[in-house]
Amino acid sequence: MLFLLMVFPLLSQALESELGLLNKLPPNFSGFQDRDVQSFPDERFGASAGYWQLEGEQYTTLTVILYDGGYGPVETGITSPLSKQAFDSAISDIQTYEQRGFYRDVQEVSRSETSVSNLPVYFSEFKFNVERNGGYTGVKSFLLVTGVHGFLMKVRLTGDTSDLSEDRVFDIVTTVLRYFRHEDPLAR
């Protein structure tokens, strides 16, 4: 018991806040611009960093969310049941957007467990249509969920650019991880 009383304060000091970790991301990288970092009013939902990229009429958005759902430190990778629940919930959110009319013709292209920068992740790719300028435009959307630095990390890239491929998505997520994963106190 004495050991726990000594170690827990050290671990809690080592765990950085979601906002602190997201603020480590640069304002611009990999062609993305104008980082917008914000906390959600409910602490369980953590914080997010949003980016966008515009090439002519085509856009890509990147959102990185870190949160613990109120459950406390989350294991690194996808061994925690919370990681799978977060992944399933994020997929359900996409389906809800379709039911509410924000997305049309949602198709899940792939779903897998894979690895990015030696970190196990849940991964999914979607295609759907979004309303734009009075019509609908086809987009791709990629979703990754894993545990990192004691939090669930959800990354979503959505865009209608032809260069939004799985390889590019993994390169971008590798760049995101590079900014805060190396100090992960819960990494094995």
- Min mean pLDDT across 81-85, 109-113, 116-120, 140-144 is at 116-120
- Measure the CA–CA gap between 70 and 155, rounded to whole angstroms: 19
Mean pLDDT of 126-140: 87
Residue 151 banded pLDDT, cuts 50, 70, 90: very high
Q: What angle do CA 36, 172, 64 make, to 5 degrees?
A: 35
For residue 180, is pLDDT > 90? no
pLDDT per residue over 12-37, tens digit each? 433 578 888 898 888 888 888 878 89
Two structure tokens written together for 173 = 């997520």
Instruction: Give pTM, 2 decimals.
Output: 0.84
> Average pLDDT, whole number, for the chain?
83
* Cα 181 to Cα 8, 15, 153, 184, distances in angstroms: 21, 12, 11, 5
pLDDT at 42: 84
The more confidently predicted of residues 100 and 184 is: 100
